[in-house]
Amino acid sequence: MKRWQALTEVPVYPHLAGLAQQPFDLTSPGALAPARMQQYCCSAAGFDLLYATQRVNDEVLAGLQELADQCGLVEQFRQMRRGAIMNRIHGFASEERQVLHTACRDLFADNPAEPVASGQAGREMAKLRTFLEELENGSLANAQGDPLDTMIHVGIGGSDLGPRSVYEALRAYKRPGRRVFFISNVDPDDAAAVLRQVNLASTLVNVVSKSGTTLETLTNESLIRRAFEGQGLDPARHCIAVTGEGSPMDSPVRYLRSFYMFDYIGGRYSSSSMVGTVMLGFALGIEVVLEFLEGASLMDLAAEETGLQQNLPLLLALLGVWNHTFLGSATVAVLPYSQALHRFSAHLQQCDMESNGKSVSRSGESVAPLKTGPILWGEPGTNGQHAFYQLLHQGTEVVPVEFIGFRHSQYGEDLEIEGSTSQQKLVANLLAQSLAMARGQENENPNRRFPGNRPNLILLADRLTPKIMGALLALYEAKIVFQGFCWNINSFDQEGVQLGKVLAGRVLDLMRGGREKDDVGLSPEMTLIKMAKMVRE
Amino acid sequence: MKRWQALTEVPVYPHLAGLAQQPFDLTSPGALAPARMQQYCCSAAGFDLLYATQRVNDEVLAGLQELADQCGLVEQFRQMRRGAIMNRIHGFASEERQVLHTACRDLFADNPAEPVASGQAGREMAKLRTFLEELENGSLANAQGDPLDTMIHVGIGGSDLGPRSVYEALRAYKRPGRRVFFISNVDPDDAAAVLRQVNLASTLVNVVSKSGTTLETLTNESLIRRAFEGQGLDPARHCIAVTGEGSPMDSPVRYLRSFYMFDYIGGRYSSSSMVGTVMLGFALGIEVVLEFLEGASLMDLAAEETGLQQNLPLLLALLGVWNHTFLGSATVAVLPYSQALHRFSAHLQQCDMESNGKSVSRSGESVAPLKTGPILWGEPGTNGQHAFYQLLHQGTEVVPVEFIGFRHSQYGEDLEIEGSTSQQKLVANLLAQSLAMARGQENENPNRRFPGNRPNLILLADRLTPKIMGALLALYEAKIVFQGFCWNINSFDQEGVQLGKVLAGRVLDLMRGGREKDDVGLSPEMTLIKMAKMVRE
């Protein structure tokens, strides 16, 4: 079987491109028949994927299965989980790394897919367990012997969005008395607003940076350390580190404890590593973290199934490829009907767009005219219904939608009002939106006409538990990876962030009074700086 | 001068479409010369707009000025502010209303543009001032005579996103001791999470619904009222209302106080009406609210200037039209380099997409093949740099970017670390990203190549004060309105949200055991409900 080939060269590609000329019409009479609704359903790790409201039929699904087979998508996923060097560009300098975020949760099988990485993950988990026990039994406390009940999680990007969105999702499970805050932005107001709310004497600062050199994180850490010193407290008694072994931050003198992450885990895939689990363990307890990891591992296993109907992440990925590559949509909206998931779309925005916002294949060739990763965005429903859904229903851009919903609420604090509970109202709205987008509605008044044929799907689970959250996280991680394989791009590097970093350094240098090294190249910066009036007097 | 015509029929349209075939190349040597950087700058109400990094030249700008003139954009804005019926579709049933959100802040001139509406706004402000004074001097208190120091703001969509984003932006100005919470989602977990954090005895509940019939808001209000009753407290002593005069919620028996909004203010434009200012006044004090309104009024005045170079909102709008209509971008990212603005893009997402996500002209004709409002999204920088910027720099979709930045921080709590303050680092990053996107960079390694020509602009102000926040809000409101005029659509209705509401009601009815009224039409709902297993046993 040929592998790592351009999508346009895969044998089934022209067939699918042909089918895309006349996609399934969701507005035709009987299009959404009960039989279709029941047949177009796929389940894994506690989730049902309802996709009758996609513009696909059996022929398209068969084509997508062929696409998966001809690209060897599942085979590549299996190789990835077993330690293959997937983070590379053939023929050019690149990161040349394994991709093993899945190993962090491969802790429940007798034979993990990649024993070395899972062994390392297990050792870090054991360190975390000990640390949490010591906090619990008081052997770890502040200088006065009082409990450390507050944590400030300091990280940015992959060290912030994923962990924070999981924390927000599982706040309902928070341990009484524990408080967690986040500082990410180099904007000094971010740190100032948090520092006003905490009692530093009882606060742990969890500094998270894989490289140990992240500008924002080190700057905020310095700000916080000076705040400790300003109160006569020793920062080394309050700061812990999550970083790469041997990084500049790996220092027992400066940190109470260090937890490691490894170069085979990309920042945006690191929520289930120590990057997320140290803070989650502090907030929720180690048992909740283990449930979360177990849910993720179950979804990882589902992603190794060969058949599209048995492999929910693969199906989700290929429905996306159908919408973006074959039907031409530039964006995708992820709309959770759950307030607890209010930051999950922001995490996915990072994970998806940083992974698949690429223009170069895994052989260093331009992918043009093929388009790769979409713009991913979203906010929770029902809130969004009162905001941007107008465009989803009647705008000139077609936005494929991925709804996420739950049959039951987290707190279970609900009341029946006018014959239905709030949770029933929430789910009723989700179902109604899915149908409205798909089938549309005619009207004599053109302004009240709904064209329909807006592809969408529903991911449905019983309740947003730690296990289900783990499964959801792993589902989207696998979706993104499958799509990257399909577009034949490297989903694991981020060269696109380098130029901005380099230029920011130059601008700062100029602000500090440095000379222009290159008249032509730097004059725009100088002009901009003057206009920003940020140069020191 | 011909008015209210399709954009494609405006005389200068073909000329602009021609120019768009070869847009200005930001990557050519010397393209970003200092003279261009200084010339392509426009100021109003405390903001500078730096737009040298847009793909425009003098010829394009002259064409856009002609477009503004030939469409009568400023003339329509003036008519709007003076009470014309702008919310209508000619020849079809439509809302047929004035559009007077600007009147809420037209309180500082001797002759307001529309005296009736500004008179009503002034009377509501006077009521608010009295209410806040009574809270302050203790003549309004709880049953025990203790101060009411906490407010839960209950609203959704336009009654939530705008007010909440302004509150978050101005938290640095919050009055000591006052606490504000928000409940919006019908998800019962949203209310449960808030109710666990407040002491109801000292809590005011601000229920905001223009119609007085919003499902989510009324449901949450009922939940909260029962919580009061459960603690033996009288909800009527704790609940206040912001609603339309005469709405079902306009009841002195049920509410301690009522503040009015009016049918000439659309929800998504209502932040500067009582919808926002009651909560903002409680949190920040009336003087801060007045500064906020004054900033908005200054920007409204700037939007009446005829020349593009004097009219910042119009220029911002037309640069967007250039990017979307003529260069074909489907989305726009608004990226504030300010953590305090972390919810501002979500507000704009609503305001823009609900306003301009339309497919029908103001004469009821399809706008096809013209595209209207883009998908607006964004998160704060520098956070986004570590998240989705990869796609902005190297992805296959070109995303026009609107950066927002400030020369100084809000709290002023900042430290110099490695020769620069955090605020300097923040602004340096903003400038660097703008340049990197515009000019790109060549590299022998194709994976390290930056194509450049990613259009962007910078909105820069000194500090995020209440006045500047008002100006920023009004700037984007005017931008959206100008673009709607230009695309010849009605930016003030939202017929696209109706079908979902109707279907949600039907689904709920079926959940409650109602019979199918229409086998063909309802069977998908029945199937979905069965699959969701939400039907009562």
pLDDT score of A516:
58
Strand partners, B332: B376
Cβ pair A507:B357 closer than 8 A: no
A49: left (phi over 0), alpha (psi -120 to 50) or beta: beta
Cβ pair B349:A387 closer than 8 A: yes
Cβ pair B353:A190 closer than 8 A: no
pLDDT (tens digit per residue) in A83-101: 999 999 999 999 999 999 9
Place of tokens 């109801």: B200
Under 8 Å between Cβ of B469 and B295: yes
Closest CA to A454 of A404, A405, A396, A406: A396
Out of A12-16, B53-57, B517-521, least confident range: B517-521
- Note which residues in 449-478 of chain A have CB less than 8 A from chain B: 449-451, 460
Task: Select from B37, B330, B494 the Cβ nearest to the Cβ of A397.
Answer: B330
pLDDT score of A1:
38
pLDDT score of A71:
96
Q: How far apart are the first and last CA of chain A?
A: 66
Distance CA A32, CA A11 (A): 31
Q: How many CA atoms lie within 13 A of A395 on its CB side?
A: 25
- Cα–Cα distances in Å, from A448 out to A46, A396, B328, B479, B512? 38, 15, 26, 25, 28
Contacting residues of A for B380, CB less than 8 Å apart:
185, 187
Q: Within 10 Å of residue A328's Cβ, how many Cβ atoms?
A: 10
* Closest A-chain CA to B490: A447
Contacting residues of B for A353, CB less than 8 Å apart:
387-388, 390-391, 395
The pair of structure tokens assigned to A460 is 């449905």
Does any CB of chain B come closer than 8 Å to the CB of residue A181? no
Distance CA A335, CA A378 (A): 5
pLDDT (tens digit per residue) in A181-234: 999 999 999 999 999 999 999 999 999 999 999 999 999 999 999 999 999 999
Q: Within 10 Å of residue A198's Cβ, how many Cβ atoms?
A: 17
Distance CA A290, CA A296 (A): 10
Q: Within 10 Å of residue B209's Cβ, how many Cβ atoms?
A: 28
Residue B520 confidence (pLDDT) above 60: no
Cβ pair A184:B330 closer than 8 A: no
pLDDT score of B245:
92
- Cα–Cα distances in Å, from A468 out to A93, A308, A482? 39, 21, 21
Does any CB of chain A come closer than 8 Å to the CB of residue B416? no
pLDDT (tens digit per residue) in B380-430: 999 999 999 999 999 999 999 999 999 999 998 888 888 899 999 999 999
DSSP B159: G
* Closest A-chain CA to B408: A534
Q: How far apart are the first and last CA of chain B?
A: 66
* The pairing of beta strand B150-154 with beta strand A203-209: unpaired
Which residues are CB-contacts of A454 (< 8 A; sequence separation ≥ 6)? A392, A393, A398, A399, A400, A401, A437, A438, A440
Distance CA A174, CA A152 (A): 15
- Cα–Cα distances in Å, from A421 out to A341, A425, B498, B512? 20, 6, 22, 10
Residue B521 confidence (pLDDT) above 60: no
Residue type for position B371: K
Q: pLDDT-based confidence at B537, cuts 50/70/90? A: very low
Distance CA A289, CA A163 (A): 12
Q: What is the ipTM of this complex?
A: 0.96
Contacting residues of B for A511, CB less than 8 Å apart:
420, 424, 428
Dihedral of alpha carbons A193, A197, A202, A203, sign: negative
Does any CB of chain B come closer than 8 Å to the CB of residue A535? no
Per-residue pLDDT averaged across B500-512, rounded?
Answer: 90
Cβ pair A359:B396 closer than 8 A: yes
Which residues are CB-contacts of A40 (< 8 A; sequence separation ≥ 6)? A50, A51, A52, A54, A56
Does any CB of chain A come closer than 8 Å to the CB of residue B410? yes
Chain B nearest CA to A499, separation (Å): 6
Radius of gyration of chain A from Cα atoms? 25
Query: Which fold does the domain B7-23+31-96+296-410+417-495 belong to in CATH?
Result: Rossmann fold (3.40.50)
| CB-defined contacts A:B, below 8 A | 512
Closest CA to B264 of B82, B69, B537: B82
Q: Where in chain B is the domain with CATH 3.40.50.10490?
A: 7-23+31-96+296-410+417-495, 101-293
Does any CB of chain A come closer than 8 Å to the CB of residue B27? no
Contacting residues of A for B43, CB less than 8 Å apart:
none
Q: Where in chain A is the domain with CATH 3.40.50.10490?
A: 7-96+294-495, 101-293
Distance CA A41, CA B523 (A): 16
> What does the mean pLDDT of chain B come to?
95
Does any CB of chain B come closer than 8 Å to the CB of residue A187? yes
Query: Which fold does the domain A7-96+294-495 belong to in CATH?
Result: Rossmann fold (3.40.50)
Q: Is B192 helix (H, G, I), strand (E, B) or coil?
A: helix
Question: For chain B, how many helices (H) and strands (E)?
Answer: 17, 13
Does any CB of chain A come closer than 8 Å to the CB of residue B217? no
Cβ pair A409:B30 closer than 8 A: no
Q: pLDDT-based confidence at B145, cuts 50/70/90? A: very high
Cis check: omega of the bond before B382, within 30 degrees of 0: yes
Does any CB of chain B come closer than 8 Å to the CB of residue A323? no
More confident residue, A424 or B534: A424
Radius of gyration of chain B from Cα atoms? 25
Does any CB of chain B come closer than 8 Å to the CB of residue A411? yes
Contacting residues of B for A34, CB less than 8 Å apart:
523-524, 526-527
pLDDT (tens digit per residue) in B153-206: 999 999 999 999 999 999 999 999 999 999 999 999 999 999 999 999 999 999
Under 8 Å between Cβ of B421 and A512: no
Strand partners, A404: A336, A459
Cβ pair A382:B156 closer than 8 A: yes
Chain A nearest CA to B134, separation (Å): 29
Distance CA B263, CA A54 (A): 38
Closest CA to A271 of A478, A80, A477: A477
Contacting residues of A for B377, CB less than 8 Å apart:
349, 375, 377
Which of B88, B156, B189, B323 is the best residue to mutate to test the A interface, defined by the most A CB atoms within 10 Å of its own CB? Answer: B189
Place of tokens 């807006």: A454
Under 8 Å between Cβ of A520 and B29: yes
Distance CA B320, CA B16 (A): 14
Cβ pair A223:B415 closer than 8 A: yes
Q: Within 10 Å of residue B15's Cβ, how many Cβ atoms?
A: 16
Cβ pair A431:B528 closer than 8 A: yes
| High-pLDDT (> 90) share of chain A, % | 91
Q: If DSSP states are collapsed to H, E and C, what string results for B65-83?
A: HHHHHHHCHHHHHHHHHCC
Which residues are CB-contacts of B398 (< 8 A; sequence separation ≥ 6)? B327, B329, B453, B454, B455
Cβ pair B393:A497 closer than 8 A: yes
Give the start-end residues of each E strand in B162-236. Answer: 179-183, 203-209
Q: Is B278 helix (H, G, I), strand (E, B) or coil?
A: helix
| High-pLDDT (> 90) share of chain B, % | 91
The pair of structure tokens assigned to B230 is 């459960």
Cβ pair B385:A500 closer than 8 A: yes
Does CATH number 3.40.50.300 belong to domain A101-293? Answer: no
pLDDT (tens digit per residue) in A164-184: 999 999 999 999 999 999 999
- Note which residues in 195-214 of chain B have CB less than 8 A from chain A: 195, 214
- Note which residues in 112-131 of chain B have CB less than 8 A from chain A: none
Dihedral of alpha carbons A253, A254, A259, A261, sign: negative
pLDDT score of B398:
97
- Note which residues in 326-345 of chain B have CB less than 8 A from chain A: 330-331, 337-340
> What does the mean pLDDT of chain A come to?
95
Closest CA to A249 of A310, A207, A201: A207
Distance CA B259, CA B229 (A): 24
* Closest A-chain CA to B184: A383
Chain B nearest CA to A129, separation (Å): 28
Distance CA B85, CA B94 (A): 11
**Which of the residues of A are catalytic?**
354, 386, 501
pLDDT score of B437:
98
Does any CB of chain A come closer than 8 Å to the CB of residue B401? no
Under 8 Å between Cβ of A438 and A26: yes
DSSP B535: S
**Which of the residues of B are catalytic?**
354, 386, 501
Query: b vs e for B87-98, b when ≥16 Cβ sit within 10 Å of the residue's Cβ?
Result: bbbeeeebbebb
Cβ pair A38:B531 closer than 8 A: yes
Residue B519 confidence (pLDDT) above 50: no
Under 8 Å between Cβ of B74 and B305: yes
Closest CA to A433 of A408, A473, A472, A404: A404
